[in-house]
């Protein structure tokens, strides 16, 4: 039964990780629908898809807002922004920061930047809204297509708006394929976070069953409490079959991984372990009973 405990714990950890990685495409931003809102850009067809081309022919810096998201439900579900970028002759330049009074602070060389901003309401009543970077990717020179992913971590204050921006310090050309927002769809019986918590509960459940199975094995080994051991074993087999059937129904209903594995994992383990051990336990009790009867007959003779 120790193997049961180890198997449960390992499978629960793997299942929990897989549940967290179960990403789905929530929305795709096609540039042909957004290009009219973006200056210094045009739509070109490359590899059978619409690609946004941004070209800065001046030596002055260029900063553009590409996508603005105000859908609160979409913002809450999104965990990742994925895109592919290609760039040509993106030139570095000094980062010029105005200091006031006609003065300018020249910082380090700065290349191109694609960043995702979050705009959250102030935690103080009447205060200004707060703008923070979720993440940013930097690029310079020339490169063929590269895939980038901007991870969107959750905060205590829910953002009311997200904005994808691009910055070019000087001349250069950038090509962007459609932007994809990824996250966990909310169509399941519960969320991925709840599924991860339930995965831990399944691990605890497996540990308890493993210990309980050890007790049943000891009782069977000594030939004690036959009715209790046999009834409990049958109960666990029935419970395992019920959980397995529920997991199969969840799969048939199209539930995500973090829903059906909570039923299917313990169900299959319970059914297999106790079904395989049931004949052995029954044989052990029968053998002990035969020995007891033979002993009584020997004493009587």
Q: How many CB atoms lie within 10 A of CB 150?
A: 18
Same structural domain, 267 and 286:
yes
Distance CA 224, CA 226 (A): 6
pLDDT tens digit string along 198-215?
878 888 888 888 888 888
**Which tokens belong to 140?**
């310079």
Q: Is the dihedral of CA 35, 36, 38, 43 positive or negative?
A: positive
Give Cβ neighbours of residue 98 (< 8 Å, ≥ 6 apart): 104, 105
Q: Let me know: does 4 contact 205? Beta carbons within 8 Å.
A: no
Same structural domain, 250 and 126:
no
| 142 in any annotated domain | yes
Same structural domain, 52 and 147:
yes
| 72 in any annotated domain | yes
E strand or H helix that includes residue 11: helix 2-20
Same structural domain, 38 and 136:
yes
Range of the structural domain that residue 267 is part of: 2-17+188-293
Question: How far does Cα 258 stand from its chain's mean position?
Answer: 9
pLDDT tens digit string along 225-284?
888 989 999 999 999 999 999 989 888 877 777 788 889 888 998 999 899 988 988 888
Same structural domain, 197 and 127:
no
Same structural domain, 228 and 245:
yes
Chosen domain end from 162, 183, 204: 183
Chosen domain end from 148, 183, 218: 183
| 285 in any annotated domain | yes
Same structural domain, 40 and 170:
yes
Distance CA 85, CA 168 (A): 14
The torsion angles phi and psi of 59, rounded to 5 degrees, stand at: -80, -10
Distance CA 83, CA 177 (A): 6
Same structural domain, 53 and 157:
yes
Residue segments in the chain with a per-residue pLDDT below the cut of 50: 1-5, 7-9, 11-21, 186
Chosen domain end from 183, 211, 226: 183
| 7 in any annotated domain | yes
Say if pTM beats, i.e. exceeds, 0.75.
no
| 299 in any annotated domain | no
Q: If 0-12 CB within 10 Å is exposed, 13-18 middle and 19+ buried, where does residue 220 land?
A: buried
Distance CA 209, CA 206 (A): 5
């Amino acid at each position: 039964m120790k193997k049961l405990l180890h198997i449960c714990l390992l499978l629960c950890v793997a299942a929990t990780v897989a549940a967290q990685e179960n990403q789905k495409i929530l929305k795709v931003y096609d540039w042909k629908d957004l290009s009219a809102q973006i200056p210094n850009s045009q739509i070109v067809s490359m590899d059978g898809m619409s690609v946004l081309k941004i070209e800065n022919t001046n030596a002055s810096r260029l900063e553009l807002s590409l996508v603005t998201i105000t859908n609160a439900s979409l913002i809450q579900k999104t965990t990742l922004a994925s895109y592919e970028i290609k760039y040509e002759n993106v030139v570095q330049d000094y980062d010029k920061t105005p200091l006031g009074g006609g003065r300018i602070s020249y910082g380090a060389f700065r290349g191109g930047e694609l960043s995702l901003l979050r705009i959250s309401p102030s935690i103080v009543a009447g205060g200004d809204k707060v703008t923070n970077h979720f993440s940013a990717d930097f690029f310079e020179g020339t490169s063929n297509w590269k895939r980038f992913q901007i991870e969107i971590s959750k905060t205590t204050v829910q953002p009311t708006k997200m904005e994808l921006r691009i910055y070019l310090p000087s001349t250069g050309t950038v090509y962007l394929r459609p932007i994809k927002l990824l996250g966990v769809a909310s169509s399941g019986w519960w969320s991925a976070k709840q599924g991860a918590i339930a995965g831990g509960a399944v691990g605890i459940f497996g540990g308890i069953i493993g210990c309980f199975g050890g007790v049943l094995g000891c009782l069977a080994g000594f030939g004690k409490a036959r009715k209790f051991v046999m009834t409990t074993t049958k109960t666990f087999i029935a419970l395992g079959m019920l959980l397995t059937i529920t997991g199969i129904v969840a799969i048939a209903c199209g539930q995500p991984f973090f829903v059906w594995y909570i039923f299917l994992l313990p169900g299959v383990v319970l059914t297999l372990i106790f079904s395989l051990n049931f004949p052995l336990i029954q044989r052990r009790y029968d053998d002990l009973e035969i020995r007891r009867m033979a002993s009584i007959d020997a004493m009587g003779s």
